Structures are given as C-alpha cells and as structure tokens.
C-alpha cells in the first residue's frame, strides 16, 4: 500500500487567507495543511499583474516542493490576477498531476443562493474591484444576477492595525457608498479575506434585510465537494491531521498578526521562496 503523504496548501499574499484556512480545517479536520503567507511582499493589490503572477507562482511552487498536491489561492487579488495563467500555462507543463484553485469562482457559484432580488454587492480591495473578476465570472454563472462592486478603502490596513475607531468610520463610509448604488441589493459578499474579521460590524451597519456573506465557509464547502469529485487528488492526501504555518517575513509583529487572524496560538516558521 502506498503511503499517503500529500498536503493541502493554502497560499495568501498576506494574512486574510488564515480566515479561509480556519473554515477549511473546521469542515475537514482530517488532512495535513501547509500555509504560506507572503507577508514580505504584501500588499499585492498595488502591484502589476505580472508582479502578482510571479510572486503567486513562487509561493505555489514553494508549497509544491514542500508536499502540497493541491493549492488554494486564499487571496482574491492572486485569484483574480494569477490563477488562470497558472492553471493554463504552468500546471500542464510543469505540474500536470497537481492542482491550483482560487476563491473567487467558488464564491460566485454559491452567492446567488443567498439573494432573492438577484442584486448583489461586493466589498473588496481596489485591485479586485478593478479586475472586474466578480462581474465576469457571474456573467458566466448566471447573467441575470447584477453585481455592484465597492472598494473597501483602507479597511484591510485598519483591521491589521486593530484601529477600531477609524475602522468603524471607514465601514460606515464604504457600506453607505455600496448600498447607495442600488436599493435592491439584498446580499453583500465580503470579497477580501481580511473582512471576515469585521463581518459582525459590517452586518450591524447594513440594513437588517441584507445578508452578509464571507468567503471562508463558502470556499471550505466547495473544496470539500472538489475533493469528493476528484478522487485522483484526494487519494494522494494524508488523512492524518496537521497544521504547518509559514511566512516570508521575519517580523515578530507579522507573527502576532497571524495568531490574531487565525484566532488561536500557532507556531510559525520563517521561509524564503
């Protein structure tokens, strides 16, 4: 019998992917996980598409070298700007037996179930909004759904600073701008993984009838479905639970933030990619 040693890799440009990992682990606590946050090069949102691709690919290849059979890009910016090129140009040539998935398509496939009006708001980073990836993917999924996108401004930075006063001011501002775009919006998707940490604050400011949906739970469900359908990948994965956290930054502050984002004390290694 061949020993199953494969891991599920989670890649993020910063910290928010830890909110995705937490939900995946909660739903599937029977795998080995390896997490890599490229905190040295964060944020990706202000970089060119080529730069985002190169950094994301370097992270993915590091995870492959360290045992990952499948990698989830737990970052909307990386998913929007690097996923397709990795899937189409890199995997078939270099890693035909491995897989890389994003978090935008799984989100799009699920969010229409939450909306009765078919009018959905997206709150995300400037780079994700400008890519118009949610509009493009929803048009493929269901052209009758209308997407209204809004940048979250400085929210990601304020979450990391844990600046609650300025954060509430910014939430009020971006939420007001989003819902003013259309009065039929009944669902708001948090299209930045950082925003999962302020889901309650956003929900309290929004009108009561509007659903707030963060990505972690949606992505976890879709990943479980994917592994059920793709036995050729699942059969390679170890069924002994473990968690391995890595960052490209040697900053103690970053490691403290990783603990904050994951929600419990974790052991973290500094690596180079």
Q: pLDDT by residue (tens digit) across 83-118?
A: 999 999 999 999 999 999 999 999 999 888 899 999
Does residue 229 share a domain with residue 210?
Answer: no
Does residue 239 share a domain with residue 202?
Answer: no
Q: Please report, for residues 193, 235, 237, 263, the alpha-carbon distance to residue 5 in angstroms, rounded to integers and kept in the order given.
A: 28, 10, 6, 27
Active-site pick, 73, 75, 101, 133? 75
Annotation marks residue 30 as catalytic = no
Q: Please tell me the predicted confidence (pLDDT) of residue 1.
A: 52
Active-site pick, 147, 155, 192, 254? 192
Query: What mean pLDDT, rounded, does the chain reach?
Result: 94
Q: Please tell me the predicted confidence (pLDDT) of residue 53.
A: 96
Structure tokens at 71: 């990698």
Angle between helices 133-141 and 104-111 (to 10 degrees): 50
What is the C-alpha separation between 253 and 4, in angstroms, rounded?
Answer: 36
Q: Residue 13 has what DSSP assignment?
A: S
Report for 45-54, 85-94, 188-197: range of highest mean pLDDT:
85-94
pLDDT, greater one: 172 or 44 = 172
Average pLDDT over residues 134-146: 94
Phi and psi (nearest 5°) for 89?
A: -110, -30
Does residue 196 share a domain with residue 186?
Answer: yes
Candidates 23, 21, 26; CA nearest to 10 is 21
Does residue 169 share a domain with residue 140?
Answer: yes
Asked which of 45-54, 93-102, 200-209 is least confident by mean pLDDT, the reply is 45-54
Peptide bond into 43 cis (omega under 30): yes
Candidates 152, 164, 94, 83; CA nearest to 122 is 152
Q: Which of 181, 196, 215 is the last residue of a domain?
A: 215
What CATH number should be reported for the domain holding residue 14?
Answer: 3.40.50.1860
Annotation marks residue 192 as catalytic = yes
């Amino acid at each position: 019998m061949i020993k199953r040693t494969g891991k599920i890799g989670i890649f993020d440009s910063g910290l928010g992917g830890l909110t995705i990992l937490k939900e995946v682990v909660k739903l599937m606590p029977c795998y080995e996980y390896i997490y890599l946050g490229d905190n040295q090069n964060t944020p990706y949102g202000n970089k060119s598409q080529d730069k985002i691709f190169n950094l994301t690919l370097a992270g993915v290849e590091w995870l492959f070298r360290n045992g990952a059979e499948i990698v989830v890009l737990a970052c909307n910016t990386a998913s929007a700007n690097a996923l397709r090129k990795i899937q189409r140009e890199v995997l078939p040539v270099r890693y035909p037996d491995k897989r890389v998935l994003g978090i935008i398509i799984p989100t799009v496939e699920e969010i229409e179930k939450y909306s009765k009006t078919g009018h959905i708001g997206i709150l995300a980073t400037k780079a994700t909004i400008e890519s118009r990836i949610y509009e493009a993917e929803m048009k493929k999924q269901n052209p009758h759904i209308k997407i209204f996108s809004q940048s979250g401004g400085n929210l990601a930075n304020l979450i990391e600073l844990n600046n609650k006063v300025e954060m509430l001011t910014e939430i009020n501002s971006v939420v007001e701008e989003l819902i003013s775009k259309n009065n039929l919006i009944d669902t708001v998707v948090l299209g930045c993984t950082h925003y999962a940490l302020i889901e309650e604050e956003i929900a309290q400011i929004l009108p009561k009838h509007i659903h707030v949906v963060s990505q972690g739970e949606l992505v976890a469900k879709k990943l479980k479905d994917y592994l059920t359908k793709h036995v050729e990948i699942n059969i390679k994965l170890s069924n002994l639970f473990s968690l391995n956290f890595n960052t490209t930054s040697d900053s103690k502050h970053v490691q403290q933030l990783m603990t904050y984002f994951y929600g419990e004390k974790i052991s973290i290694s500094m690596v180079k990619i």
